[in-house]
Structures are given as C-alpha cells and as structure tokens.
Chains A and B, each alone.
Chain A
Amino acid sequence: MEWNWDHAYAVLPQLGDGLIVTIQATIVASLLAYILGLGIAILKMSKSKLTRVLLHWVTEFVRRTPILVQLYVVFYVLPDFGIFLEAFTCGVIVLGIHFSTYTSEVFRAGIENVPKGQWEAAKSLNYNPLQTWKNVILPQAIPPMIPPLANYLITMFKETPLLAAITVVELFRAADQYSNSHYTYLEPMTLVGVFFLIVSIPSAMLAMKLEKKFKQAKTA
C-alpha cells in the first residue's frame, strides 16, 4: 500500500465540511455541558436532600453508561415513543448531557473551594444572593475552573466521531464515506488523525499554560 496524493487531495474538501460539523458539534455540546453542569452543581448544593440524592443517581447513571449506547437510545429508541430528533441535535444533546456530569464536578469543587468566610462577609455587607454569586463567589471560583473545563472541551472534541454512529457526517464519517467508495483507508484516516491533532495539541498546550498561570497566581 502506497500513499496516493490524488486521494489525499480529493478527500480534502469533504474533510473540510466534516471538520466544520465536528467543530459546530463541539461548541454546541460544550456550551450545553457547561450550562447544565453549572445548574447541576448549584442544585447539588440544595438544602433539599431529595434533590441531592436524585441528582446524584441521575448523574451516576449517565456517567456510568457508554456514550455510544446513549446515542443509540436517543436516536433509535426515542422515535418509538414518538420523539423524533435530527441526528446532529441528538448527538450534541447526548454529548452535552454526558459531559455535564463531569463539568458539574468541576463547578462544584470550584464553588466549594471559596471559603465560607466569603459568604459570611457578603452577608454582613448585606449582599443579596444574586449579588453574592455575581460579585463575590463566581469571580473567585471561575479562574481555577478554566483549565479543567478546557480539558473537557478537548475531550469532547475528540469524542465527536461517536456521532458518526448515528449518521452525523462529521470529520470521521466524511473520511469513512470516501474510504468506502474508493476502497482506500490510508489517506482519509491519516488526514483525519492529523486534523484532530492540529486542533487538539495547541488547545492542550493552551490549557496547560492556563493551569500554570493559575497556579502561579495562587502562590503569588
């Protein structure tokens, strides 16, 4: 088997379209994972024990089952119950919900790391709960959360090929389609790998840099 540049050039436009879908899926799914994760984290600190226990088991359940199975259930089983969703929508919802169970732990740890005295100081100055969150708690909680949240973003980016299983033509499936019709896997799959590396390596380096920067700020 030899590398054939003709195949490599021919597949590029399709990979470009696929990469756009991959990036769109990553952005939408990560936004969902962040927003939902923050919501779960706040609800997990709720005074109601029922809420806390319920959320604990729901998040455990989501986290302990494979994403692929979740994708199949949402895409192929829900229609039996009259719920029809587009493949892309299904994909980002499943990916977003799955990773929200991880990001919620990042949010929870970040919020719990703000000392109790900060809440008490805010109360003693008569801040209402919204003012306390906005002006006191989140500005302290968010900076240390950024590196782990960035790492989850990269992981989600890397997991998007799973969406191929439910017919979403993202980067991997675009290559796969070319491979199937031209009987060559070498060029398309190599290029897919390269595309993923080109995006994820600089992102990972940036995340590491942020982590270092935060650690320095903390010890300063």
Chain B
Amino acid sequence: MENIIQFENVSKSFGDLQVLNKLNLEVKDGEKLALIGPSGSGKTTILRILMTLETIDDGFVSVNGEYLWHEKNDGKIIPASENHLHKMRDHIGMVFQQFNLFPHLTAIENVQQPQTLIKKKTDAEAKEKAEELFHLVGLGDKKDQYPHQLSGGQQQRVAIARALAMDPKIMLFDEVTSALDPELVDEVLTVLRKLASDSDTTMLTVTHEMNFAREFADRVLFFDSGQIVESGKPESIFSNPTKKRTKEFLKKFINNVN
C-alpha cells in the first residue's frame, strides 16, 4: 500500500522549544493511527502541521504523493504558495479539542455551509449529506439547535459530522475528548470507533484515552520529546512495551489500560 502521509526529517521549534526533532513518519492509506505520549511531546504539532495550521522549520511533509509545505516550480522545490496549500487542504479534515463550531449557525448549518461554500454543492445536496451524517453521529433530533444549546459531547459529534461532510482522505482528531466532562466521553468515542471500523479514511488521533487507542488503532506511536520512541501494534505497545520511557508513561495510565 501507498504511503498517504510521509514526514522526512521534519523539525519544528516554538522559540527555544524544539517540539519536533528530525521526525520521520510514514502512514499508509487507510491506516488508523493513535499518537500517545506526555503533553508537549509534539503529537498535536504533527496534526497541526498536516492541517497547515503550523509551518515546519526543516524537512519535508508529503500528503497523497505531493509535498505539503513545498511545491515544484521549473524543477525547483520552493515553499508552498497559498494556492498549493488550499489545494492540499482539500485532502484533510480536523476535529479540535475545543470543538470550534461556528456559534452563530445551527448544528446543521455548521455542516451544510462548508459543503455549499467549498464543495459547491446545492443546498439540497448539502442538506441531504448533513442529515445522513447527523444520523451517523446519533444527533438526528438536535440538528436545528445552536451550539450553545448542546452538551460538549453533542457539540463534538457535530464537529465530527462537519469534518466528515468534506469527504477528506485523512481525518485528524486532536484530543477530541479532553475538554469533555467524563460522562460525555463515551458518546464521542463510540462514534469514533464506528468510524474507524466502517471507513477507509486514514485517521490520526492524539489521545490520552488508552483503552480507546487500543481499540481504535492499527498502530500506536509513543512520542516523547519530539521523537517517536516506540511504535507498533496496540497489543504489543500496551502489553509488551520494550522501551523504558514507554513503560514509565504507561504505568501512569495503568488504571486505564486494563
């Protein structure tokens, strides 16, 4: 299978803080990846770089066989133009920790507007797709509510529907349950599990929910200090971690693991 995402020696710093250090990463088409590790280890930065919310300092990122942050011009490799980034963003969708729904639009309008604006769909087509997705995330009866009338878990499910409506090849989930009250976490994870098992979309999730990571992912990456310390199938990472740092990290989550 083709690599849909490739990081080659990617470095990124915020001031003096180096968050990614010559990172190499390959993701296969359709793969479901869970990124785990301590806060500040660079996991979220990887997603934000892919969504073009953060630039890179060094190295190359490829998405769907093309450079993301560079483009070829007369055989020369130059930094990507806004046009190129716009084209590349079409492949990628993202769900945020803070939901980031548009508060002035109803739930269903949140899902319809991007389709009509960006995908140039008619109102009827956008509505049909939105209703389909609301059914999928279990919010059929909430579609005319405004975001502030919905619980955090419901808002996050709308945000998932909104990202899915754009038919991205790659979906990025950035700690999507971290801002939720504990009793609302499950309703969101249930949707994600269903998505992971039913779709061919490539998915990357940054999460602190170890049980979920184990069920969701084909492959788990353990990050620390901007580098991949260990990667492998969920069973091997969670049951037989080989690196000391992985073991130490997982010990803190021992109650969540089993």
A residues within 8 Å of B by Cβ? Answer: 115, 117-118, 120-121, 123-128, 131, 135-136, 139-140, 220
* B162 & A125 in contact (Cβ 8 Å cutoff): yes
* Residue B225 interfacial (CB < 8 Å): no
* Chain B contacts to A: CB under 8 angstroms: 51-53, 86, 89-90, 92-94, 96, 98, 100-104, 113-114, 117-118, 148, 162-163, 166
Complex contacts, B104 vs chain A, CB 8 Å = 139-140
Query: Is B148 a contact partner of A220 (Cβ separation < 8 A)?
Result: yes
Show 27 A/B contacts (Cβ-Cβ < 8 Å), sorted by A.
Answer: A115-B98, A115-B100, A117-B98, A117-B100, A118-B100, A120-B100, A121-B96, A121-B100, A121-B102, A123-B52, A123-B53, A123-B89, A124-B89, A124-B92, A124-B163, A125-B114, A125-B162, A125-B163, A126-B86, A126-B89, A126-B114, A127-B114, A127-B117, A135-B117, A136-B102, A140-B104, A220-B148
Known interface pairs A123-B52, A126-B118. Does A117 touch B96 (Cβ–Cβ under 8 Å)? yes
B103 touches A140 (CB 8 A): yes
Closest to A218 in B: B148
Is the beta-carbon distance between A128 and B86 smaller than 8 angstroms? yes
Which residues of A sit under 8 angstroms from B102, Cβ to Cβ? Answer: 118, 121, 135-136, 140
A124 with B118, Cβ < 8 A, contacts A117-B98, A136-B102 known = no
**Contact status of A124 and B51, CB under 8 A, knowing A131-B117, A135-B117, A139-B104:** yes
B148 / chain A contacts, CB cutoff of 8 Å: 220
Tell me if A120 and B118 are in contact (CB < 8 A).
no
In the bound complex, what is the Cα–Cα distance between A115 and B179 (angstroms)? Answer: 16
* Inter-chain contacts of B166 with A (CB < 8 A): 125-126
Known: A125-B166, A126-B166. A120 touches B53 (CB 8 A): yes
